[in-house]
A and B are shown apart, each in its own frame.
Chain A
């Protein structure tokens, strides 16, 4: 009788968005606490830990991703208004941006091209198939835009979403270390590079470093979304 009740509760929970949403918040809460405890060591980026915890949980309970996403989509949805909200830090850094518009523009055009070409080039040399290549091309672009690009060029949008997140994690984990090694200290330069190469996850990391780096990363992410949605399909068509 008791087991039967538990089974019924599980049947209810596994089909309701409540569980997926709550688990997402709990996993992120734990991951974030670990990150704070480790004094913001970039290797313990909360996205990595939270994703790992959730995948382990879903595999253990044999829950399909689709059922999880029924709840996860409420968090995922907020990417839209959060993108709009980037106008605020952008507005606050507008004074500095006005003096830097030319270097920013050139860096964006080159950065977006290199972002697509380096991913496709490396994977092609190492023998990835064409669908993987086309899904990799927009990996540095913010998720909703990258998925749109993948769809248009013949990649797999859901694979692109994952590659985009993994790219963001690489940028967030290694970005600041790389800049230190290269002795690049200017937060506007670091922010622009982070936004072009590692979109929103890089931007989130940049905001932890400074408001200026975050604002420039957010700006670069938004502008490179524009540039990439025009440039990448054209480049890929030309490369064929």
Chain B
């Protein structure tokens, strides 16, 4: 393991730890890792050099992000009974709910961008 990788993973864990402590101390509804991410982002804005330290560990984790969801996904076997009984509402909600969310979110963002574009077209 290169020293950079080790420093990077240590830093990521420290930020997660600080995030968890803050979330609990202030009883925030947001989970620790998300707070850790915001804190690391703010630190990066203040200190340019930090990016090189975290980069190797960060890209190692992010390049196989899907792997990390596999153990939770296997948990579907525990709920085969409930899912089998209610397969229609569950699968319809998963499929159509997700497609609707994808489409609506993209259209809203495009719509606001267009409205803003019209608002300051003379600047552009």
Q: Which residues of A contact B (CB under 8 A)?
A: 24-25, 27-28, 32, 45-47, 50-51, 54-55, 58-59, 65, 68-69, 72-73, 75-76, 78-91, 94, 100, 102-104, 106-108, 110-111, 114-115, 118-120, 122-129, 132, 136, 139-140, 142-145, 148, 152, 156, 158-159, 161-172, 174-175, 178-179, 182, 184, 186, 189-190, 192-194, 196-198, 200-201, 203-205, 207, 214, 218, 220, 222, 225-226, 229-230, 233
Contacts and interface: CB of A to CB of B under 8 A. Distances in A.
B75 to A, nearest CB: 5
Chain B binding surface SS class? helix
A46 B33 contact: no
A28 B67 contact: yes
Contact of B70 (A75, A90, A229): A75
Interface string B57-78: 1110111111111111111111
Interface of B: 9, 12-13, 15-16, 19, 29-34, 36-38, 40-41, 44-45, 51, 54-55, 57-59, 61-79, 82-83, 86, 88-90, 92-110, 112-113, 116
Contacts of B108: 103, 106-107, 110-111
Given A55-B74, A178-B99, A123 B105 contact: no
Given A24-B67, A106-B108, 13 more contacts: A28-B64, A65-B77, A79-B69, A87-B37, A88-B55, A102-B116, A115-B101, A132-B89, A143-B69, A156-B79, A170-B95, A193-B101, A233-B29
B12 A81 contact: yes
A189 B74 CA distance: 31
A103 B55 contact: no
Nearest to A107: B109
A192 B106 CA distance: 7
A161 B75 contact: yes
A82 B65 contact: yes
A103 B32 CA distance: 27
A185 B1 CA distance: 40
A94 B48 CA distance: 13
